[in-house]
Structure 1
Amino acid sequence: MIIADNIILTDSQVAQKIRRIAFQIYESNSNETDIIIAGIANNGYLFAEKIQAVLAEISPLKIELCKVIIDKKNPITPITTSIDSNQYQNKSLVLVDDVLNSGTTLIYAVKHFLDVPLKRFKTAVLVNRNHKKYPVKADFKGISLSTSTKEHVVVEFKNNETLVYLT
């Protein structure tokens, strides 16, 4: 059960954050004709889809979505993507996840993309927590939170509504 006091972002607030992030991505890539939005499965990809929809609405950019499949419990296992690496070679790429906790998932995903020459590489998260154990940062973020390590941030995408809350 979600308690109202635990809600961090409502659906309308999430929509505002997504719109702002989309504008920041467009501004950062205004000289590009096409970009890759790579979302980390599962919630990162859902977040990436929402960013892509707004980008398509506000910009002339050709946007290709890419799903990044990573074992979050064992991130050193091989990472796969829904598109071939030659499709993002020498392009601008934005890696997207829902929550940046310790940085483990993001750093291993970044490592995967560094094996291919990219024109530009940025990261975007909806919630940036301040508990990083790796030197990774989000270039575009919806909200930054200082929470205790015992608290868990949940991003829930369901029934065309998004909610962010603490458990």
Structure 2
Amino acid sequence: MNTILTHDQVQHKIRRIAFQVAEVFYEEHEIILAGIKGQGFQFASLLKAQLDSILQGTVTICEVKIDKKNPLSPISTSLDSNLYKDKVVVLCDDVLNSGSTLIYSVKHFLDTPIKKMKTAVLVDRNHKRYPVKADFKGISLSTNLKEHVEVFFDSNDSKVLLK
């Protein structure tokens, strides 16, 4: 097991992503951070905390509930779709692996007329099966398919491990 990012490095990456998001959406009054249930939602929460200290506008967080093993099953969000209508949405996940979770989640948001959508991930593994990219990423890893990236978010000991 190898440590890819230490706690301080994880915090630095999230802060850098927050500044990138703020730079792209500096004219927006509200940004919706849509975190994939689990680690993606935790990542979005940490990103929100950073954005709240940078931006003047409102940062609203929502949880995207998707069955990662069966992404064709119905997807729901913790916010009513009217609350992200005509707004910018940043879809967040901890690791971009094959791209299936992100692409099916993006598809869900396309049912509502949103202003603009971007994606943010802490780790981009470069093993995509679908044409989805991370607009904001903490780190890109070239790994083999047998390796597993694991992200842990903890207030004092966040880390990214390669197993």
TM-score, normalization by structure 1: 0.96
The one-character-per-residue Cα deviations of 1:81-117 (angstroms, maximum 9, x if unpaired) are 0000000000011000000000010000010001111
2:54 to 50, 58, 66: 58
Matched-pair identity in % = 60
**Could you tell me which amino acid in structure 2 is paired with residue 119 of structure 1?**
K
Shift of 1:160: 3.7
1:9 to 5, 13, 26: 5
Determine the C-alpha separation between the residues in 2 that align with 1:159 and 1:65.
Answer: 19
1:36 to 32, 35, 46: 32
Determine the C-alpha separation between the residues in 2 that align with 1:100 and 1:114.
Answer: 20
Query: Unaligned regions of 5+ residues in structure 2, if any?
Result: none
Query: Unaligned regions of 5+ residues in structure 1, if any?
Result: none
Aligned partner of 1:143 in structure 2 is 139
Determine the C-alpha separation between the residues in 2 that align with 1:65 and 1:124.
Answer: 14
Q: Is residue 109 of structure 1 aligned with residue 93 of structure 2?
A: no
Aligned partner of 1:155 in structure 2 is 151
Q: Relative to structure 2, which stretch is displaced further, 151-160 or 130-139?
A: 151-160
Shift of 1:159: 5.1
Determine the C-alpha separation between the residues in 1 that align with 2:75 and 2:3.
Answer: 32
Shift of 1:44: 0.2
The one-character-per-residue Cα deviations of 1:36-72 (angstroms, maximum 9, x if unpaired) are 0000010000000000000001111201000000000
Q: Is the 8 A contact 2:124 2:137 kept in 1?
A: yes
Aligned partner of 2:21 in structure 1 is 25
2:93 to 71, 74, 97: 97
Q: Is residue 73 of structure 1 aligned with residue 107 of structure 2?
A: no
Determine the C-alpha separation between the residues in 1 that align with 2:153 and 2:14.
Answer: 13
CA RMSD between the two structures: 0.8
